[in-house]
Amino acid sequence: MSRHLSLIGMPGAGKTTLGQALAAYFGLPFVDLDAEIVARAGQSIPGIFAQRGELDFRQLEADTLRAVLARPAPLVLATGGGTPCFHNGITALNQHSITLWLDVPVSTLLARLQAAETAQRPLLSQAPAGLETRLYETLTARTQFYQQAQLHCAGDACTVAALLPRLAAAGFPPPAV
């Protein structure tokens, strides 16, 4: 079984941007789990939350995750912020990929998400006590899962150049067979 590289962390942590850059560097496919879920469901993420609810979304997310992880050729995967935290996601991720937690402070997440508009992120767009409070609460609840990643990079240290030796030491990318 080949080992993929999975990026985990909060919404706004930069999983997609860094994942695309790493995939381009290594010449590997990039997979965005949210995009895979949308393709499978034939519905947008806000549409799935609105019409089917979060429980259904989490099941769909878990099924899609297993399907992506089962692909034979190595790839770089950007997960959704909640992916490691439901249906033993972190265990599946650690079994089939090298996991990297992009650990970005709430102040940075807040600035990025405010600039980006949260309409596409249903859990954040419906935060009655405000976005900053929701981010703190969510990060606090999820840290126990994120911490189980094999690699951890904080804030500005998450660059391709800085990560290369650490990925090599972890055996990524795996040798071609």
Q: Which residues bind ligand S3P (CB under 6 A)?
A: 11, 34, 45, 80-82, 121-123
Q: Taking each helix axis as running N to C, give the angle between helix 33-41 and helix 54-69, from 0 to 180 degrees, rounded to the nearest 10.
A: 110
Closer CB to ligand S3P, 85 or 173, in the complex: 85
Q: Which residues are annotated as a binding site for Mg(2+)?
A: 16
Closer CB to ligand S3P, 46 or 155, in the complex: 46
Strand partners, 154: 103
Residue 48 token pair: 């799935």
Residue 170: exposure state from Cβ atoms within 10 A (0-12, 13-18, ≥19): middle
Least distance in Å: CB of 166 to ligand S3P? 22
